[in-house]
Structures are given as structure tokens and as C-alpha cells.
Amino acid sequence: MNVVENIQSIQRSIPEEVTLIAVSKTRTLDEMEVAYQCGIRDFGENKVQELISKYEGFHKDVNWHLIGHLQRNKVKYIAGKVALIHSLDSVRLLREIEKQYQNIDMKARVLIQINIGREESKTGALAEELEEIIQQVGECNHVEVVGLMAIIPRGDEEENRKYFRDMKMIFERLKAENHKNVSMEYLSMGMTGDYQIAIEEGSNMIRIGEGIFGRRIYNNNL
């Protein structure tokens, strides 16, 4: 299938309330334009440099999502340009986001990324680190946590469901609690290979790259 058919197929298979993010890392603006013409307005990038270059050259009504690990020294480049930062994973990063958004008198909308599989190779806060991050968010004036994000370990369907359920439990617990500057609007989990299972287990935001654009073509210059 081509990009148009891929998008149409995914859109038919997901509930209306689920936000579809087209993961456009390594993709050209021409490829992204095809997705845009199909009605896609949410695009996800892993690297700040690539996001900024596309931000300058693409449609202005697009919602940009920074879904990759965010280094503190790169926050200033995306401040005010992204609809959602998916990868808040530490108090130190939180303080930098607060600082940079204070400088431009705007409020950052962020998701806390949880390393639900406790994988050393992945970034994200551990579940036991959540309380401190949530507490510090309450001290901020320019950061609002609007949900959670996870990249789960590779596994079979049963293993996938377990991690998605664990995330949903944390999401619902935080939703029931009353924390300043925290609301649970988005549970961002599920990618090309497992998004349908993720939705069944409570995801309302999915990140699809290869399932839309085909296999990735990496450019080491980006």
C-alpha cells in the first residue's frame, strides 16, 4: 500500500477519539505533504534539529510533537514551537523547560515518559520517580503535564498488554488524584506493530511511522 492507503486503513481501524501522530523522522517534506493532504495535522519528530528544519519549511497549522529524548541544552530551540513534548523524564529537564518557557511567557504542554519496562537502553522516568516529578510540576508556572507516554519493550501480545495495562493503571491513578498543573488527557502509547492492542488497553494517542510511510530511510546527517 502507499501512504494514502496506509493512512486511510489506519483511520478506519481506530476510534475517532484516538489521536494519530505521523512519525515523520527521516521523512522528506514531500512525503509529509502526502500525509498532510490526507488530513494529518499531528507529526512526531525524534530530533530537535530535524524538527526545527521542518517547522520552518512546512505548513503552519501542523501540531509538532517532540517524541524523542530531549536534552536540556536543546529545549530552547523548540520552546514555543511544539504542541506537545512527550519525553519529560526528570526534574532537571522539567526545570529547564520551565526556564525556557518562562523566557517566552508561554506554557509548555508535556507528557511524562515512563520507562515501564525498566530497560537500561531506554530513557524515561521509573515509576517510583513519578512522585517527585509530579511534586515539582506543582511548583511550575510555565509547564502543564497533560498525560503520560511510554515505549514498551519488544514482546508478544500478552507481554505488550501487561505493560499497556500497567501504564493505564498509573494514568487512572494520577487522573483520580488532585495535582497542581497535572491533568491526564493523553495516554500516548502504541506504535506500528502494537497500536491496536494499545488502544484496546486504553491508549488515546498513537505514534505511527513505518505503518504510514513504509520502512525508514536513515540519514546520518540529520
pLDDT (tens digit, 9 = 90+) per residue, 122-175?
A: 889 999 999 999 999 999 999 999 999 999 998 899 999 999 999 999 999 999
Residues 21 and 207 sit within 8 Å (Cβ to Cβ): yes
Separation CA 160–CA 191 (nearest Å): 11
Mean pLDDT of 200-213: 97
Angle formed by the axes of helices 48-57 and 29-37, nearest 10°: 60
pLDDT (tens digit, 9 = 90+) per residue, 168-204?
A: 999 999 999 999 999 999 999 999 999 999 999 999 9
pLDDT (tens digit, 9 = 90+) per residue, 59-72?
A: 999 999 999 999 99
Evaluate if residue 3 carries a pLDDT over 90. Answer: yes
User: In order of start, what are the domains of the chain with their CATH numbers?
Assistant: 3-213 (3.20.20.10)
